[in-house]
């Protein structure tokens, strides 16, 4: 069974510093992934973060998610992704980032994840993904981004990743995701997030990711043929976040998404 709303409340109440924190970290977990192992890296310096990613690759892990917040870079890595090769792009200028992504696309790499921090756009691309026709969009206004999501859905695409930054909304869309349906909630305050997640769970959705930006919490949900169990954690301190993460791993969950936001 998925975590009940009461369980989530107990988890949150067990972290007394969260209510008073200006910022905190959120981790999204699920069961039933193909991953055979996971790792987690963080660094306050981009150069060290780049080196850490290289080390993950050397150790046989692939990067599945990037996050920046409170002057900290984070990444989730995993074994068993099925990717043949990964590359990492970081550019200050959006146009140069977009051009680099397009160049790699011609070489058979698909953009999987995008993140913005300290004036840089970062992207993880991979060969061997199951996705088709991966598309990157950058929309100025939230209302227009919502229309873009509907447009992509009607065309048979699903949203893989979203990143609100530098006054824009960036989305990665793709076909052949395996999703039967997709939906999202836009919530102004964190207090409304647990209730939204619980309601989606009751309606048969799985929590895919959480993102914060533009003063909103963006919660993305999917339906597929799998009956997967979902969970999430929230902590204001990285050591506490790591401890909670290991507890979820010990229960058989895999970390699939990290978010950073403010209460």
Per-residue model confidence as pLDDT tens digits over 219-236: 999 998 877 889 999 999
Domain match, 16 and 74 both: no
**Total domains present in the chain:** 2
pLDDT at 39 (0 to 100): 96
Same domain, 193 and 254: yes
Q: Is residue 220 part of a domain?
A: yes
Show which of 101, 128, 155 is a domain's final residue: 128
Co-location of 4 and 64 in the same domain = no
Check whether residue 29 and residue 51 sit in a common domain: no
Residue 64 belongs to some domain of the structure: yes
Task: Give residue 263's pLDDT.
Answer: 80
Q: Judge whether 120 lies within some domain.
A: yes
Q: Among 70, 93, 128, where does a domain finish?
A: 128
Q: Residues 72, 26: one domain?
A: no
**What pLDDT was estimated at residue 6?**
35
In a domain, 117, yes or no: yes
Q: Which of 200, 197, 223 is nearest to 210 (CA)?
A: 197
pLDDT tens digit string along 83-128? Answer: 999 999 999 999 999 999 999 999 999 999 999 999 999 999 999 9
In a domain, 109, yes or no: yes
* pLDDT of the residue at 197: 97
Q: Is residue 116 part of a domain?
A: yes
Q: Is the domain of 123 the same as that of 184?
A: no
Please tell me the predicted confidence (pLDDT) of residue 11.
Answer: 40
On whether both 40 and 73 belong to a single domain, the answer is yes
Residue 28 sits in the same domain as residue 75: no
User: What is the model's pLDDT at position 45?
Assistant: 94
Dist CA 219 CA 197 (whole Å): 8
Residues of the chain with pLDDT under 70: 1-21
Same domain (yes/no): 21, 48? no
For residue 65, what are the domain limits? 36-81+84-128
Torsion of the alpha carbons at 242, 40, 210 and 90, rounded to the nearest 10: 140
Do 239 and 207 lie in one domain? The reply is yes
Return the CA Rg of the chain.
Answer: 17
115, 68 in Cβ contact below 8 A? yes
Residue 28, pLDDT score: 98
* pLDDT value of position 262: 87
């Amino acid at each position: 069974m998925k975590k009940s709303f009461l369980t989530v409340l107990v988890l949150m109440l067990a972290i007394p510093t969260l209510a008073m924190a200006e910022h905190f970290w959120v981790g999204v977990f699920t069961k039933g992934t193909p991953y055979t192992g996971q790792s987690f890296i963080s660094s306050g310096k981009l150069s060290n973060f780049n080196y850490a990613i290289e080390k993950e690759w050397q150790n046989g892990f692939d990067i599945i998610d990037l996050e920046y917040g409170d002057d900290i870079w984070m990444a989730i890595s995993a074994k068993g992704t099925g990717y043949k090769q990964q590359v990492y792009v970081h550019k200050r200028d959006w146009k140069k980032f977009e051009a680099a992504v397009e160049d790699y696309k011609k070489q058979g790499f698909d953009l999987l994840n995008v993140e913005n921090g300290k004036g840089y756009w970062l992207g993880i691309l991979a060969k061997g993904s199951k996705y088709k026709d991966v598309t990157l969009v950058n929309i100025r206004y939230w209302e227009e981004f919502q229309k873009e999501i509907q447009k992509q859905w009607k065309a048979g695409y699903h949203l893989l990743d979203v990143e609100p930054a530098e006054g824009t909304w960036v989305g990665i869309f793709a076909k052949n995701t395996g999703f039967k349906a997709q939906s999202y909630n836009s919530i102004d305050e964190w207090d409304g997030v647990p209730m939204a997640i619980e309601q989606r769970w009751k309606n048969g959705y799985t929590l895919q990711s959480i993102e914060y930006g533009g003063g909103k919490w963006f919660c993305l949900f999917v339906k597929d043929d799998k009956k997967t169990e979902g969970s999430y954690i929230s902590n204001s301190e990285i050591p506490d976040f790591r401890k909670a993460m290991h507890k979820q791993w010990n229960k058989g969950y895999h970390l699939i998404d990290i978010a950073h936001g403010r209460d």
